[in-house]
Structure 1
C-alpha cells in the first residue's frame, strides 16, 4: 500500500515533496492529488511530482473517469494506485474537504523521513 499524507496547505506539501526528493525518493514515485485538477497540476508542476493520469490507470478506468462524477473519478484513481475501496472512499471525503494528498509509491520506508 502506498504511503499517504494529508495536507491543508499547498506550501507544506511542496516542502515535503522536496524533502522526499532530497532523500532519494524518485519523483516518478511521488503523486499529488486534490479535488481540483488545476490545483493538482499546479502543485505537482511546482515540485516536479506526478499526478495520477493515464499511465497509472488502465484504459477502462480512464474511460470510465471521463464520464463519471468527480468523487467517483478520485476514488477510482486512488484504487488504481493500490488503495482498497474503503480507504479510497475515506480519502476521497478528505479531498472533498479541500485537503491535498501526497502519495508515495516507493518501496523505501518513507514514513521514517518525516520523524
Structure 2
C-alpha cells in the first residue's frame, strides 16, 4: 500500500531488501536522503535497513524531546505509532501501518522537502 499525505509519502514493503530498493528509487526521483525514513517492528531491523540504505531512523529531531523520552516507557507499538504521527500521519494511518509492521513488513517514509 502506498499513501501520500500533505507531509509525507509512505509505502509498506514485504522485507528489508525491498525497503532498500524503494529507498533507492525515492533517492533517484529527487527525495533527499535526510528526509527518507524506515521503520520496522524490530528496532535492530530498522537500524540495519537504515544503515544499508543511508535512510534515517526517526529520532529526537523529528519527534521532539518529550516524545523521545516518553518512548522509553511505551510499548514498541505505541512508540512506532508516535514516530509516525511525528512525521505527519494521522492516528488512524499510524495504527494501520503499525499493524502491518506487526506482520513483519517494513514502512518506508519520505517527507517532502521542507521550506
TM-score range, shorter chain: 0.7 to 0.9
TM-score (ref. length: structure 1): 0.88
2:109 pairs with one of 87, 99, 103: 103
Taking only aligned residues, the RMSD between alpha carbons, in angstroms, comes to 1.1
Task: Give me the whole-angstrom Cα distance separating, in 1, the residues matched to 2:38 and 2:50.
Answer: 6
2:11 pairs with one of 2, 5, 30: 5
Q: By how many angstroms is 1:32 displaced?
A: 0.4
| Structure 1 residue ranges (4+ consecutive) displaced by more than 6 angstroms after TM superposition | none
CA deviation profile, 1:47-90 (whole Å, cap 9, x unmatched)? 11001011111111111100111111111101000011111111
Q: By how many angstroms is 1:106 displaced?
A: 1.6
Q: Which moved more, 1:95-104 or 1:16-25?
A: 16-25
- The equivalent of 1:33 in structure 2 is 39
**1:4 counterpart SS class:** strand
2:72 pairs with one of 66, 69, 73: 66
Q: By how many angstroms is 1:24 displaced?
A: 2.2
- The equivalent of 1:86 in structure 2 is 92
Say if 2:11 and 2:107, in contact at 8 Å, map to a contact too: yes
Equivalent runs, 1:44-55 vs 2, <5 Å: 44-55=50-61
Aligned positions, number: 107
TM-score (ref. length: structure 2): 0.88
